[in-house]
Structure 1
Amino acid sequence: MFKRELQKEIENIKNNNLYRFLRKKDNTNNILDFSSNDYLCLSKHPEVIDAVKDGLKYGFGSTGSRLTSGDINHQILEEKIAEFKGTEGALVYSTGYATNVGVISSLCKKGDLILSDKLNHASIIDGCRLSKSDVLIYNHCDVNHLRDLIEENGNNYNNLFIITDGVFSMDGDIAPLDKLKKIADEYNGILIIDDAHGTGVLGNGRGTLKHFNLKPSDNIIQIGTLSKAVGGLGGFVCGIEELIEYLINTSRSFIYSTSLPPCVVSGCIKSLELMERGDLTKKLQKNIKTANKIFKEYNFIKEDNLTPIYPLIFKEKTMEISENLIKNNIFCVGIRYPTVPKGLERLRVSINIGHSEGDFGVLCECIKKVLN
């Protein structure tokens, strides 16, 4: 009975053209990768790999949660993150997803109100669902709508939490943090920023908050990942010391998860050291300017990007283009509903410091052949 029900559901998914499957990526130099989030190419940096090897002196796995046997070199990484982000403290989780779910569900309680951007990442949405707070969705980056929702509803709650991505993962646009911070201050709210795609990319690598020249404060919580520009695995939250102490004692996805392998932690520490120099982020920004130029020449974008995420919207042609790219050794996966709304299917082109001007041209020519 159960098997038949699953088969029926899978068939429905297929009939609606929503079927997903695992696609193995060739990690050799034969493929041109425009889907990776490894913006600074640190996942394969020789110094990072050497650091990972050195971290194996602690053993392959951490063998337990941070509160039991799994606290090895993790506090060194947390000190490095706090210094990098300019905060009092930081706490590392096993994934970025676990960070958002754990932080939001711990902090946001019954009697509180969460105001969440319409295009926030799934991990934020799930964290909101797990919390006991009421949740209102404001239109994407629409500070006027946000303010209206607070004016209409804010007086009925103990605490207000404004939650947003710093850089939105499917569109590459930047949240108006300067305006969101002003609203948070005005209404005595707390601003939670998921800077997964901003860290290493904006603000000389320090992230979206630095991009707006905003200083960390008591009512700002920064969340990030170690699996994108850092090139490793894991997530982190940083803010005031009391926040970190509270989460260690209450955040279920932190308390009940085996901690990151110490070799991964060692690699992330080295990645942050390399990122601190600033030259990698400058190289990325230079490549973004080159991509802007090429993509404009092909009429794939109208305005310049500030981030390495390019949503090239081809609607019903998207999956055909994606398959053709893969046949030509260009890895660029099409994104469709429910990840993005129907009618906004797109190639999510993600560029990094390893791409050349010629690579952008090859990508565009291959797309153009399908469109013509």
Structure 2
Amino acid sequence: MFREHLKKELNNIKNSGLYRTLKVKDGKFIDFSSNDYLCLSKHPEILNAVKNGLRYGSGSTGSRLTSGNINHEKLEEKIAEFKETERALVYSSGYATNVGVISALCKKGDLILSDKLNHASIIDGCRLSRADVLIYEHCNISHLLNLIEENWRKYEEGNLFIITDGVFSMDGDVAPIKELKKIADEFNAVLIVDDAHGTGVLGNGKGTLKHFNIKPSDNIVQVGTLSKAVGGLGGFVCGVEEVIDYLINTSRSFIYSTALPPHVVEGCIKAFEIIEKGEVVKNLQNKINIANKIFKKYKYINCGHITPIFPFIFGEKTMSLAQHLIDNNIFCVGIRYPTVPKGSERIRVSINIGHKKEDFILLCEKINDFLIDDKK
């Protein structure tokens, strides 16, 4: 009966056009889907650091609170220094970080104000916290203020949280962090910023706060990932000493997860060292500028981007276009509902420092070919 039930549910997913399959890419593809913005996942210095890290073994063998605390504190010290915070804490994934941080810091009786387009991991963390959650329109400061002014008196001082992505993963736009910080200060709220797509990209690589020249403070908690621009695996949170101590003692996804393999940790330490030097970050910004000019020329974007994420919105044609690109050795996956709202299905173009000008032109030409054939 259970098997038949699952078959029925899968058929419903297929009939809705939402069925997912795993895709395999190899070296013959031009990859416009990866979040490896700085191409550090294959950087020779990092691979060498990973190799040296195998001296600890292939796995950590346990959680950080049992046998798994090996070289992880070295990485945390590096992240805290990099982000200019008092301390940092490493998790097994970016998803686990958001879920664990939000569900630990926010509780029943608190109020969370969350951007409408926040990542699924933020949404799930909010749900698990059992706090009251109000959604403000995407990057809409006026709407956020209205919600706070209507509701904040119902909550005790210090029970207010504003949560946002720093860079939004599907549109590549940047949250108005300066305005959000002012509101957090005015209402004695905590600002939680998920800087997964900002770290290694904005602010000379230091992230979204640095981009806006905002210094870390007691009421800011920064979350990040080690699996995008850093090129490794895992997630992190950084802030004041008390936040990290509290999470070590209360965050379930930290306490009950096996720690990252130590060789991965060594690779991430080296990655932050490379990012700090600045060359790879400048290279990425140069590639973003080139992509802006070409994508504007082909009229796939209207305004310039400062991040490597470019949404090409094609609606119902998106998945057919994605397959057309794969058939032409371009790996650029289609994004559809429920990841994005219906009607805004898009090709999420993600560029990195390994791309050449010719790659951007080829992508646009192959999209043009599809659109011309589609009109016939």
Q: TM-score, structure 2 length as denominator?
A: 0.98
SS in 2 for 1:23: coil
Distance of 1:266 and 1:328 partners within structure 2: 37
SS in 1 for 2:200: coil
Q: Which residue of structure 1 lines up, in the alignment, with residue 19 of structure 2?
A: 19
What amino acid sits opposite 1:116 in the alignment?
S
Q: Which residue of structure 2 lines up, in the alignment, with residue 76 of structure 1?
A: 74
1:148-297 alignment to 2 at 5 Å?
148-158=146-156, 159-297=159-297
Q: Which residue of structure 1 lines up, in the alignment, with residue 304 of structure 2?
A: 304
What amino acid sits opposite 1:232 in the alignment?
G
1:90 equivalent to 2:103? Answer no
Deviation at 1:132, TM superposition (A): 2.0
Distance of 1:58 and 1:237 partners within structure 2: 24
Gaps of 5+ in 1: none
Match of 1:114 among 112, 115, 118: 112
SS in 1 for 2:352: coil
Distance of 1:155 and 1:139 partners within structure 2: 21
Match of 1:47 among 34, 45, 48: 45
Deviation at 1:19, TM superposition (A): 0.4
Distance of 1:187 and 1:131 partners within structure 2: 21
What amino acid sits opposite 2:249 in the alignment?
N
Deviation at 1:262, TM superposition (A): 0.1
CA offsets 1:65-90 (integer angstroms, 9 cap, x no match): 00000000000000000000000000
Q: Which residue of structure 2 lines up, in the alignment, with residue 323 of structure 1?
A: 323
Distance of 1:207 and 1:85 partners within structure 2: 8
Distance of 1:133 and 1:319 partners within structure 2: 37
SS in 2 for 1:5: helix
1:332 equivalent to 2:345? Answer no
What amino acid sits opposite 1:38 in the alignment?
D
Deviation at 1:5, TM superposition (A): 1.0
Deviation at 1:365, TM superposition (A): 0.5
Distance of 1:318 and 1:132 partners within structure 2: 36
Deviation at 1:215, TM superposition (A): 0.3
Match of 1:56 among 51, 54, 57: 54
Distance of 1:290 and 1:316 partners within structure 2: 29
What amino acid sits opposite 2:232 in the alignment?
G
1:144 equivalent to 2:132? Answer no
What amino acid sits opposite 1:174 in the alignment?
V
What amino acid sits opposite 2:360 in the alignment?
F
Identity percentage over the alignment? 73
Q: Which residue of structure 2 lines up, in the alignment, with residue 129 of structure 1?
A: 127
What amino acid sits opposite 2:97 in the alignment?
T
Distance of 2:152 and 2:7 partners within structure 1: 46
Deviation at 1:111, TM superposition (A): 1.2
What amino acid sits opposite 2:149 in the alignment?
E
With 149-158 and 31-40 compared, the bigger mean Cα shift is at 149-158
Distance of 2:98 and 2:155 partners within structure 1: 22
Deviation at 1:316, TM superposition (A): 1.3
The alignment yields a C-alpha RMSD, in angstroms, of 0.5
Q: TM-score, structure 1 length as denominator?
A: 0.99
Moved over 4 A (4+): none
Distance of 2:120 and 2:95 partners within structure 1: 8
Gaps of 5+ in 2: none
Distance of 1:54 and 1:129 partners within structure 2: 41
Match of 1:105 among 103, 106, 113: 103
Q: Which residue of structure 1 lines up, in the alignment, with residue 364 of structure 2?
A: 364
Deviation at 1:110, TM superposition (A): 1.5
Deviation at 1:64, TM superposition (A): 0.2
Total equivalences in the alignment: 370
Deviation at 1:4, TM superposition (A): 1.1
CA offsets 1:161-220 (integer angstroms, 9 cap, x no match): 000000000000000000000000000000000000000000000000000000000000
Deviation at 1:317, TM superposition (A): 1.2
Deviation at 1:320, TM superposition (A): 1.1
Distance of 1:349 and 1:162 partners within structure 2: 29
Q: Which residue of structure 2 lines up, in the alignment, with residue 350 of structure 1?
A: 350
